[in-house]
Amino acid sequence: MQKKYRAALIGCGGMGEAHIQENYYKDEVHFTYVCDCDIQRALLFQKKYGVDHVTDDYRECVSSNEVDIVIIATRPKSHLEILQACIQSKKHVLCEKPICDTLESGRTFMELVKKHPEIKVLIGHLLRFNKTYQHAAEMIQNGAIGFPIIFRMVQNHHTMNWERYLSMLREVSPLIDCGVHYADVIHWFTGAKVTDIQAIGTQSEPDVPEGQYNYGLVTLRMSDGSIGYYEAGYSNTLSAQNIKEFVGPKGRIRLIFSKDRHEHQEEGDFIEYYQYPQKKYEVINVPCKRKPTGEQFDYLIRMIEEDLPPVPSMEEVMDAFETMLTADSMIKQHL
């Protein structure tokens, strides 16, 4: 008989909803708790997703004997404290990235995970479970565009709800928030290590919190000669852009997401593959969810049942985190 895992969601924001809406209906999963400091938001999730209990105190659900797995979808500064409680109560964990808000707490987080292999911990690097990125990774690793590779990655937001982004900036910078994904992508696609980091950033809005920036750009040089940049910003005046392009001596791969397709959006993403010297274009259709939280949760269950390692590994998670913290520090030194 298939085991049913009892889950608790801590954090009922955008990512919290991305997790619960892709998992609550599964036969092998039942959400017994939702938790948020805004109890009204938690009550809404309880009603919407048929959850048994609601609380504004994470300790209540973590310590409950009705919980097997905890999803941590809160802001980074709370992750370590919640992880410690989960380990003490012997709960498996799916934790959103970035893992923490400081290098010291990140290292403590990693050491705790390593000391307790009986507790399975998976970090929310969703792109590792995204079929479009998986296909691109396989193409690159098989030499489709040759080496070295130029990674061009942009994720700029033209904000329609500036207060929401200001709230994020009080907690985490644009480079660290999603940049850890793309530092990991470069390593994942190439297998190479970062050898050089450079970064610039600025405050282009008057009410950006002191010591913080709303626009940043980081460049990375890799041990195999590949290079890449990641640009991220939140602004009332930036144009929204989402560029993911990988260029090599034998060709180019560009990811075009379903929402950006002119037609047939229901078919998912597609990969534009340019081959050189043939000067030939190929379009590869990839049915794909933008946020594959269901596939990620399924993998955590496999970790529990089959004793599989996390993907990415905790060492890879920490490498991406340290890379973006270094870039973040460079920018903040010159604000």
Give 35-72 pLDDT, tens digit per residue: 999 999 999 999 999 999 999 999 999 999 999 999 99
How much is the pTM?
0.96
Residue among 205, 208, 202 nearest 167 (CA)? 208
Beta bridge partners of 216: 201, 232
Mean pLDDT in residue range 137-151? 98
pLDDT at 327: 98
Residue 22 has pLDDT above 90, yes or no: yes
Average pLDDT, the chain: 96
Class of residue 162 by CB neighbours under 10 A (exposed 0-12, middle 13-18, buried 19+): middle
3-7, 14-18, 198-202, 289-293 — which is least confidently predicted? 289-293
Which of the two residues, 255 and 263, has the higher pLDDT score? 255
Residue among 230, 232, 233 nearest 246 (CA)? 230
What is the three-class DSSP state of 35?
Answer: strand
Q: Which helix (H) or strand (E) holds 268?
A: none
Measured in whole angstroms, the distance separating CA 299 from the mean position of its chain's CA atoms is 15
Mean pLDDT in residue range 182-198? 98
Q: Which CATH class is domain 5-123?
A: alpha beta
Residue 107 has pLDDT above 80, yes or no: yes
Other Cβ atoms within 10 Å of 15 Cβ, number: 20
Mean pLDDT in residue range 237-259? 96
Query: CA-CA distance, 295 to 311, in Å (whole number)?
Result: 12
Instruction: Provide, rounded to the nearest whole percent, the portion of the chain with pLDDT above 70.
Output: 99
**Could you tell me the residue ranges of all domains in the chain?**
5-123, 127-290+322-332
pLDDT at 236: 97
Domains 5-123 and 127-290+322-332 share a fold: no
Q: Hey, which bits of the chain come out as E strands?
A: 5-10, 29-35, 53-55, 69-72, 92-95, 121-123, 150-158, 194-202, 215-222, 227-235, 241-248, 251-256, 269-275, 280-286
Question: Confidence band (pLDDT; 50, 70, 90) for 90?
Answer: very high
pLDDT at 265: 86
Query: CA-CA distance, 103 to 176, in Å (whole number)?
Result: 12
pLDDT at 267: 84
Give 193-222 pLDDT, tens digit per residue: 999 999 999 999 999 999 999 999 999 999
Tokens linked to 164: 């929401």
Mean pLDDT in residue range 300-308? 98
Query: CA-CA distance, 43 to 230, in Å (whole number)?
Result: 38
The answer as to CATH 3.30.360.10 being correct for domain 127-290+322-332 is: yes
SS (H, E, C) 63-93: HCCCCCEEEECCCHHHHHHHHHHHHHCCCEE
pLDDT at 300: 98
226: DSSP letter: -
